[in-house]
Amino acid sequence: MHHWIDLVFGYKQRGREAVKALNQFVHITYEGAVDIDSIENPVLREALIAQIHNFGQTPIRLERKPFPQRNVYIAARDERIDFTVLPSLAPLTPPFCIVGAPHRVYLNVTLWDTARVGMKSQPDHSVGDMCLVRGQLVGVGRTCTLILPDKAYYKYGGPGNGVSAHVAISHKEVDQLISVHDGLHRAPITVAKTSLNGRYLVTGCSDSTVRVWRCFGKQLQLQATLCGHERGEITCLDVSTVFGSLVTGGADGKVLVWDLRRLTFLVELPHDDAELSTRLGEEVRVTSVSINNKSGQILTLVGSRMRIFDINGNLIATHSNSSPFNNHNAPTCAISTDCPGYMEDGVVAVSGHKNGDVMLWGFNYDRKLLVHRHTVPDKVHTSPITALRISGERQDTLLVGDKTGKMSVCKTVRLDCLNQQELAVIMREIKNGGIPSDDFQISSSMDSGGGAGGAVGFMEIISGND
């Protein structure tokens, strides 16, 4: 990068250094080379302007000495891992990738518990939402959505066709009623979601309508009623105040994108599942939608098919038609990470499955496919996964909840927690350009202990494929 800056903006732009670097251009493209206003001949003036338009203009020279090289931190140094550079590498590491070895994705379960908040009057024990506060894992029922800034939650689905606000995190007053808002819809609410900043509440109804509410303390103010879905309830939604967008999915198989600021319809994301689902006997139903708050990309799960669309609604990735899923391990929910587009090796999506599996997915940009990167090896969940949330400043923590109310915390493995044998393998891979070895994989086993705070036992190198 510093060599490019020298050529375009620096000391190699003009003079002897430019000649040595073969960095010479047409003389009229340089700053100050021609004074157009001083040329009286209109033909000559137009000719010079045409040449400038054709060749372009060289930028202003900003430096007259070599631009310093940026410090490049590398974890592998002299046959060992330099742990002192890991804090500097952390911001450059994609979500769920190991800091210092971003070609590797590996998560361990570090904590598990049972959801108890917001379960009253709920027909089952399914987890609907979760958060991690000061090491405490808090989960609420399926008909609840957390208000993270207020440490509270909205409960919906009652006979009043509205929501009620309750305390979610407190020492003594958990589930205490804060406010009641009945009559928000003409029919029962089937899904609700708050924005990360807590300023918006979006509700979906069994009559196919979506309503957007502004939250002012204990008051909800209706902003708009959005109509576009047909034949059935709203099944899922996501809202992003970063991009000012709202995505809704319904039992009709449609995924619609709305402008949150103007409260208008933008685009319907194309899905070709109707014919396929009819042939396979599946239900054409949108299970999950999720927005990437760094790139605006949208993840959808329709039936057993995951897709990722860009911010303009163009399809950019899907998993292959030869799907590895069956009735036993079909995906039940999915969530997008905030992986930036320039981090090509990062994890862009996480999916939960019917058999309790949790899988992490990356991009293959050349083939426009979602590629399986990792399956969490610690088999904590054996029931369908119902909720996923990504936590941590670097997005290295995954919260998982299932149909029985069990929750778990999965954290990305750190290099300083590996043994010497594992570090030797990572070192070898880094020297090979970040290519994982084909003759081994890193696996983990948990001890027989259970309950909240269960610890990871050990990691070892075993034969097999990554």
164-168, 279-283, 423-427: least confidently modelled range: 279-283
320 CA to centre of own chain: 20
Whether 153 has a pLDDT exceeding 50, the answer reads yes
pLDDT > 70 fraction of the chain, expressed in percent and rounded? 87
Whether 247 has a pLDDT exceeding 60, the answer reads yes
Contact residues for 325 (Cβ-Cβ < 8 A; gap 6+):
304, 331, 353
pTM of the predicted protein model:
0.79
What is the model's pLDDT at position 307?
94
Whether 458 has a pLDDT exceeding 60, the answer reads no
Most confident of 76-85, 206-215, 325-334: 206-215
What is the model's pLDDT at position 283?
62
- Looking at the DSSP bridge assignments, the partners of residue 336 are 349
Contact residues for 383 (Cβ-Cβ < 8 A; gap 6+):
356, 402, 403, 404, 406
388 CA to centre of own chain: 11
Q: Can you list the domains of the chain with their CATH numbers?
A: 2-55 (no CATH), 99-413 (2.130.10.10)
Residues 294-333 have pLDDT tens digits of 999 999 999 888 999 999 999 999 986 656 677 788 999 9
Confidence of residue 164 (pLDDT cuts 50, 70, 90): very high
| Distance (Å, whole) CA 360 – CA 334 | 10
Confidence of residue 32 (pLDDT cuts 50, 70, 90): confident
111-120, 187-196, 233-242, 320-329: least confidently modelled range: 320-329
Whether 430 has a pLDDT exceeding 90, the answer reads no
| Distance (Å, whole) CA 412 – CA 415 | 10
Residues 35-80 have pLDDT tens digits of 888 888 889 888 888 888 888 888 888 878 888 776 666 776 666 7
| Distance (Å, whole) CA 414 – CA 442 | 13
> Looking at per-residue confidence, does 29 or 265 come out higher?
265
Residues 120-149 have pLDDT tens digits of 888 889 999 999 988 889 999 999 999 999
| Distance (Å, whole) CA 444 – CA 410 | 12
What is the model's pLDDT at position 191?
97
What is the model's pLDDT at position 352?
96
What is the model's pLDDT at position 309?
95
Q: Give exposure, 37-55, as e/b (b: 16+ Cβ within 10 Å).
A: eeeeeeeeeeebeeebeee
What is the model's pLDDT at position 343?
74
